Amino acid sequence: MAETANLDLPLLADGQARKHITVNEALTRLDHLVMLAVRSRTLATPPSSPLEGHRYIVPVGASGSWAGRATQIAIVVNGGWDFVVPLAGWRAFVEDEGADVVYAAGVWSSLTLPAAPSGAITVVEFEHQLAAGGAQVTTGKIPAGSLVLGVTARVQQAITGVSGWSLGVSEADTRYGSGLATGAGAGIVSVVGAPLAYSASIGLRLTPQGGNFTGGRVKFNVHRLTFSPPPA
């Protein structure tokens, strides 16, 4: 059956019988993908009783029927799962974050405010897979010259081996929070009292509390002010 180039919508064939089936299939896919809004992009285990039409962005490391479907859009269709591979430039509203994301270069990323002639608030996003042991520093970094307003995080895979953890940098272990939650899906929001300037790039430091890390994965957003000279 012939399909459209972008959304794979089925096309009617000349003299085709039962045309309504093809038309309904195309309308259903449009209903799922136009004005796209997903319930979550961090849920690693498919929900046990999802509702028809619910949509999710499958995260890295998902299990069960979502295994191997990272970054795809999982849609509940007739009680089962249908998967759609996104194209570059697709946007979606993530309900449990209240934020928009865009797909590019194989990754769903948070949208940032548009650049202005004098500056803008931008977001640096990266993930950290916890290694077994004590305090550790992320390979993703706060860029040099950043004026940081705060750091937010989402626990994508439960942090194990500890009762809690703190987030900071090498010079201040708890700058962005202490006694933080460990469960999968937990969100962390840390807004500093005044913007903090970093002259050199620096990683975030995760310090265990009540034990040593044995596993887990966390996604971080560093919210910072950037500045640019006026146009020539």
Place of tokens 């040593």: 212
Please determine, for residue 117, whether its predicted confidence score (pLDDT) is greater than 60.
no
Answer yes or no: is 15 within a domain. Answer: no
CA distance 142 to 188: 17
Answer yes or no: is 21 within a domain. Answer: no
Which of 64, 90, 107 represents a domain boundary (last residue)?
107
CA distance 220 to 156: 10
Structure confidence by residue, pLDDT tens digits, 8-19: 556 556 666 666
The model's confidence at residue 207, banded by pLDDT at 50, 70 and 90, is: very high
As a whole number, mean pLDDT of residues 25-46 equals 80
The model's confidence at residue 122, banded by pLDDT at 50, 70 and 90, is: confident
Answer yes or no: is 210 within a domain. Answer: yes
127 vs 9: which has the higher pLDDT: 127
Structure confidence by residue, pLDDT tens digits, 46-83: 998 889 889 999 999 999 999 999 999 999 988 899 99
Which of 107, 135, 168 represents a domain boundary (last residue)?
107
Statement to judge: residues 88 and 139 lie in one domain: no
pTM of the complete model: 0.52
**Domain region containing 129:** 112-227
Q: Are the C-beta atoms of residues 110 and 124 closer than 8 Å to each other?
A: no
Q: How many domains does the chain have?
A: 2
Q: Are the C-beta atoms of residues 141 and 128 closer than 8 Å to each other?
A: no
Statement to judge: residues 151 and 173 lie in one domain: yes
Give the per-residue pLDDT at 78: 86
Which range in 33-47, 85-99, 100-114, 162-176 is most confidently predicted, on average pLDDT?
162-176
Answer yes or no: is 24 within a domain. Answer: no
- Nearest residue to 225 via CA among 124, 150, 147, 125: 147
As a whole number, mean pLDDT of residues 136-150 equals 93
Burial 140-161 (b: 16+ CB within 10 A, else e): bbbeeebebbbbbbbbbbebeb
Q: What is the DSSP string of 111-161?
A: --PPP-SSEEEEEEEEEEEPPSBS-EEEEEEEPTTEEEEEEEEEEEEEEES
The model's confidence at residue 21, banded by pLDDT at 50, 70 and 90, is: low
Answer yes or no: is 25 within a domain. Answer: no
Statement to judge: residues 66 and 93 lie in one domain: yes
Answer yes or no: is 182 within a domain. Answer: yes
Statement to judge: residues 124 and 220 lie in one domain: yes
Give the per-residue pLDDT at 13: 66
Answer yes or no: is 27 within a domain. Answer: no
134 vs 10: which has the higher pLDDT: 134
Statement to judge: residues 156 and 97 lie in one domain: no
CA distance 114 to 86: 23
34 vs 108: which has the higher pLDDT: 108
Statement to judge: residues 137 and 162 lie in one domain: yes
As a whole number, mean pLDDT of residues 32-36 equals 78
